[in-house]
Amino acid sequence: MTLSRRRFLTSSGAALAALGAPAVAWPSLSRRSPNEELRVAVVGLRGRGMAHVNGFLALPNVTVVALVDVDADVLAAKKAELEKRDVKVDTYADLRKALERDDIDIVSIASPNHWHALQAIWSCQAGKDVYVEKPVSHNVWEGSQLVAAARKYGRIVQTGTQCRSSSGIQEAIQWLREGNLGEIRHVRGLCYKPRKSIGKVSGPQEPPKGVDYDLWTGPAPLVPLGRKNLHYDWHWDFATGNGDLGNQGVHQMDLARWAAGHDGLPKNTLSVGGRLGYDDDGNTPNSQTIFQHFGSGPDILFEVRGLPRNKAAQTEDWGGKMDSALGVRIGVLVNCAGGHLRIPSYDSAIAYDQKVVEVKRWKGGGDHFANFIDAVRSRKTEDLNADIREGHLSSAMCHLGNLSHRAGAAANADAIRQGLMTTPLAGEANARLIAHLEANQIDLAKTPLTRGAWLEVDPTTEAIVGNEAAAALARPAYRAPFVVPEEV
């Protein structure tokens, strides 16, 4: 895509104003040939960001030229680390400054969840291609805005759900599609991952030295830090994260939707769960069952468990004694008329017949960054293994599960059980969840489960139907100037 600066500014004035930067600071969007060296800026370096750096540096004719992070100490350390490898980079606290450069082709985003969509939209508006970590958004609406921005500006945008590039899983799902196990009845996603308490503080905490806390907060409300650790534990605060459903779970939700063959959002979503087993500064569920009905095609059931299999394991071996289903802890089970398919990892799958006799197995990985670069060079969205729309739909399914929870209310376990009697798949999963919590000696009379709202979604508009409270939660207010624009 080639745009003059004048044309870009004329067509996107409102969007540029939302960036909080003067329009005159933006460069020409003329681009070099995609076959030339591709130059990357990586955003967010404490966790996945360095995997992005190393992934791109391993590819021919691709280099990393800029690092972006709100933590000055992290920036300095990562720059020094790369210089020892003879990789010269510039550093920025604010992505908007890096976007002023016309010699950056790609922005690769590994910042906290609440920043993903806005940083990706800014990058599309500035004429960059984007690799953005999962979940691609913090809520359903901004995910749809990101898809719109990618299409409007002709950008190649890859979602960081790397299982999509696994040759083993690709082959297994194709085999499933060919009807080798018969009709798919339902799909079950699992995220049984150990999550201990993050602790409880008695008052506001000081952010780490070197961190620009205002910029770190970005679109979220600027409030005093209310937990011990700023970093990573933001996952367990709805203001900035999406719990494990939208953290680890989005990988398995994406696999579940892919296996089920759904190309849109569920018609109905229901969550049952809570943050149970400890009292800490987190507010996202650590124990949750999400039922999603599509109207046609197989339903999807998703389960999150952060507690171990029983109370004794909390002191003996929390991480080593998690529950599993058919040997799967973090993965997907596809129930079919002629057997089932297990996806127990990021690069493998096993098919079984009705007698649970193994029929076939697959194993094989893939390079998700290389797939992205190939699509950047071809300029064909269809070459992507995880186009932004795929990432949006799977992220949105996680958001709907959390939205049901947040719009729900505490309820008696027996009342929840009775309410699910007409939905056998959800009822059976709820019974297993309650048994799991009882094994952890949780008194559900004192700390009850939350029975989520029964959400209805218009799959065309992706809007919540008939629930004003949930609709209000679905689209939070943004803090200026960090506003996801109405018109991208």
What is the tens place of the pLDDT at every residue in 385-400? 999 999 999 999 999 9
Regarding whether 157 and 179 lie in a shared domain, the answer is no
Regarding whether 178 and 142 lie in a shared domain, the answer is no
Q: What pLDDT sits at residue 47? A: 87
Torsion angle, CA of 178/375/42/86, rounded to 10 degrees? 120
Regarding whether 138 and 76 lie in a shared domain, the answer is yes
Q: What pLDDT sits at residue 13? A: 38
Query: Of 110, 145, 163, which closes a domain?
Result: 163
Q: What pLDDT sits at residue 32? A: 57
Predicted TM-score (pTM) of the model is 0.93
Regarding whether 89 and 190 lie in a shared domain, the answer is no
Regarding whether 182 and 120 lie in a shared domain, the answer is no
Regarding whether 176 and 98 lie in a shared domain, the answer is no
Determine how many CB atoms are found less than 10 A away from the CB of residue 48: 18
Element containing residue 169 per DSSP (H, E): helix 167-177
Burial class (CB in 10 A: 0-12, 13-18, 19+), 445: exposed
Q: What pLDDT sits at residue 27? A: 46
Q: For residue 63, what are its two tokens?
A: 């280099």
In a domain? residue 472: no
Q: What pLDDT sits at residue 375? A: 98
State the amino acid at position 135 in one-letter form: P
Residue 33 — pLDDT band, cuts 50, 70, 90?
Answer: low
Query: Which CATH number fits the domain that encloses residue 26?
Result: 3.40.50.720
CA–CA separation, 488 and 485 (whole Å): 6
In a domain? residue 378: no
In a domain? residue 85: yes
Residue 348 pLDDT exceeds 80? yes
Mean pLDDT of all residues in 217-229: 98
Q: What pLDDT sits at residue 12? A: 37
CA–CA separation, 126 and 130 (whole Å): 11
CA–CA separation, 10 and 147 (whole Å): 21
Report the relative pairing of strands 330-336 and 299-305 from DSSP bridges. unpaired
Judge contact between 216 and 230, C-beta under 8 A.
Answer: yes
Regarding whether 172 and 70 lie in a shared domain, the answer is no
Residue 23 pLDDT exceeds 60? no
Residue 35 — pLDDT band, cuts 50, 70, 90?
Answer: confident
What are 300-318's pLDDT values in tens digits?
999 999 999 999 999 999 9
Regarding whether 176 and 92 lie in a shared domain, the answer is no
In a domain? residue 189: yes
In a domain? residue 126: yes
Q: What pLDDT sits at residue 31? A: 55
Q: For residue 220, what are its two tokens?
A: 């979220």
Regarding whether 151 and 175 lie in a shared domain, the answer is no
Burial class (CB in 10 A: 0-12, 13-18, 19+), 10: exposed
Question: Is 439 strand, coil or helix?
Answer: helix
Regarding whether 75 and 52 lie in a shared domain, the answer is yes
Higher pLDDT, 19 or 40: 40
Q: What pLDDT sits at residue 166? A: 98
Evaluate the CA torsion angle 195, 137, 298, 184 in order and state its sign: negative
Regarding whether 176 and 149 lie in a shared domain, the answer is no
Peptide bond before residue 60 is cis, with ω within 30 degrees of 0: no
Q: How many domains does the chain have?
A: 2
Quote the domain boundaries for residue 78. 5-163
What is the rounded average pLDDT for all residues in the chain? 93
Residue 84 — pLDDT band, cuts 50, 70, 90?
Answer: very high
Query: Which CATH number fits the domain that encloses residue 310?
Result: 3.30.360.10
Regarding whether 112 and 220 lie in a shared domain, the answer is no
Element containing residue 184 per DSSP (H, E): strand 184-192
* H-only helix segments in 296-442: 313-316, 368-378, 388-406, 413-419, 424-439
